[in-house]
């Protein structure tokens, strides 16, 4: 994900329950290689007043103010924004998944179509808890098993990564397991020359 750090930082500004659902949606985008930029989440009343005056918004009762909305735009592999990209099949799937999680999409609105906008109504406007952040796993030493390290080394070599030996240092445990799962996916596509069965069984 080109804007991963920025996206996660913006999600962390959302109200608590909205954060939880937004993170689940974002991980879906990451897993399915749907490249997006979450360019705005929380918004002050002054910012919203300015948006209304410019015609960019029609209400002072914005879900951005209470931390229950985010704005996103599809981007390409170089990070360039694709403002006409909401009709792409993968982006449509991402929007559909967001709606299945309880988000309302501004692209469905009739009077004021707002395709970048996703809002989580929760129990109503201002019903979520602002200022409470979702706790993420602290970084810890997590050694790969020999089989896992072998998978990392082989795929790193295939992809031209030169610092594979340091991939297991002070990483979030959940992240390294996700990394290993992705390594297995790559190996599945490139079975020739790899002891895939061994790696899969000893995962």
In three-state secondary structure terms, 96 is: helix
Q: Is residue 71 pLDDT above 80, yes or no? A: yes
Query: Which residues, 6+ apart, have CB-to-CB distance to 75 below 8 Å?
Result: 2, 3, 35, 36, 37, 81, 82, 85
In three-state secondary structure terms, 149 is: helix
Chain centroid offset of residue 141 CA: 24
Please work out, in degrees rounded to the nearest 5, the angle formed at the alpha carbon of residue 44 by the alpha carbons of 40 and 50. 90
Phi, psi of 128 (to 5 degrees): -85, 170
In three-state secondary structure terms, 46 is: helix
pLDDT in tens, 33-50: 999 999 999 888 898 888
Q: Is residue 203 pLDDT above 50, yes or no? A: no
- Identify the structural domains of the chain with CATH numbers, from first to last: 4-120 (3.30.1380.10), 146-201 (no CATH)
In angstroms, rounded to a whole number, what is the distance separating the alpha carbons of residues 93 and 107? Answer: 14
Predicted confidence band of residue 159 (pLDDT cuts 50, 70, 90): low
Query: Which residues, 6+ apart, have CB-to-CB distance to 128 below 8 Å?
Result: 15, 16, 17, 18, 66, 67, 68, 120, 122
């Amino acid at each position: 994900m080109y804007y991963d750090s920025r996206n996660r930082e913006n999600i962390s500004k959302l109200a608590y329950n909205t954060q939880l659902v937004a993170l689940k949606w974002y991980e879906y985008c990451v897993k399915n290689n749907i490249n997006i930029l979450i360019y705005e989440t929380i918004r002050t009343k002054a910012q919203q007043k300015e948006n209304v005056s410019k015609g960019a918004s029609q209400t002072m009762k914005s879900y951005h103010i209470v931390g229950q909305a985010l704005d996103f735009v599809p981007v390409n592999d170089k990070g360039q924004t694709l403002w006409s990209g909401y009709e792409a099949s993968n982006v449509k799937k991402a929007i559909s998944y967001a709606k299945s999680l309880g988000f309302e999409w501004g692209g469905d609105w009739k009077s004021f179509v707002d395709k970048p906008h996703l809002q989580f109504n929760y129990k109503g406007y201002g019903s979520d808890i602002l200022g409470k952040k979702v706790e993420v796993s602290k970084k810890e030493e997590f050694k790969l098993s020999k089989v896992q390290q072998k998978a990392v080394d082989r795929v790193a070599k295939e992809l031209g990564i030169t610092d594979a030996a340091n991939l297991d240092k002070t990483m979030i445990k959940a992240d390294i397991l996700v990394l290993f799962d992705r390594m297995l996916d790559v190996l599945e596509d490139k079975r020739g020359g790899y002891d895939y069965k061994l790696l899969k069984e000893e995962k």
